[in-house]
Amino acid sequence: MTAFTPTIRIQNECFDAGEEMRRMRSGRTDIGAVACFEGVCRDHNAALAGQGEQAVQALELEHYPGMTEHSIAHMVQEAQQRWPLQATTVIHRVGALQPGDPIVLVVVASAHRHAAFEACAFLMDYLKTQAPFWKKETTPDGAHWVDAREADDAALARWGITASNSAAG
């Protein structure tokens, strides 16, 4: 498998998932499958401990410049070692977001669908738990930082990765 340079962007601006997939496939006839995940800001959060479902009025994402891109590059390298990938794009937004705004995009290309699906799921599970992003939600009760959820850690564990042995270092 030929090595490739993944596209990794941390940005305030909105992205166009369709355009990113077209850009990835442009001029390529070797790609047999493209898997895409787009995460979108919800207008509610049912995971607030003991508080029931809360309306989300806004979301603010922060990151550690340089460290975040480095962490994501390591996770893409890990995916490349696990699956025969041909291209990868990871875009994550930071700054102020409103319900309905896209937050994250992962696009993975491979010769076969199984590798593309698996690598896309792996990268999203990794992003949710290991990438250095901090999320603050504003609800009618005020603003609060959002902690990682046990379900996200469990999703990452299915890949044999825990916080102590992640490739984010």
Single pTM value for the model? 0.87
What pLDDT digit, counting tens, does each position of 68-83 carry?
A: 999 999 999 999 999 9
The pLDDT value given to residue 162:
75
Angstrom distance (rounded) from CA 60 to CA 7: 23
The pLDDT value given to residue 2:
56
Mean pLDDT, the chain, integer: 88
Percentage above 70 pLDDT, the chain = 88
Q: Is the pLDDT of residue 168 over 50?
A: no
3-class SS letters over 116-169? HHHHHHHHHHHHHHCCCEEEEEEECCEEEECCCCHHHHHHHHCCCCCHHHCCCC
The residue assigned the tokens 């875009």 is 91
Indicate the range of 37-41, 55-59, 88-92 predicted with least confidence.
Answer: 55-59
From the CB of residue 123, how many other CB atoms can be counted at a distance below 10 Å?
Answer: 26
Q: How confident is the model at residue 167 (pLDDT cuts 50, 70, 90)?
A: very low
* Domains of the chain in sequence order: 7-158 (3.90.1170.40)
Phi, psi at 44, each rounded to 5°: -155, 160
Q: In residues, how long is the chain?
A: 169
Q: Is the pLDDT of residue 48 over 70?
A: no
From the CB of residue 86, how many other CB atoms can be counted at a distance below 10 Å?
Answer: 22
Angstrom distance (rounded) from CA 125 to CA 60: 20
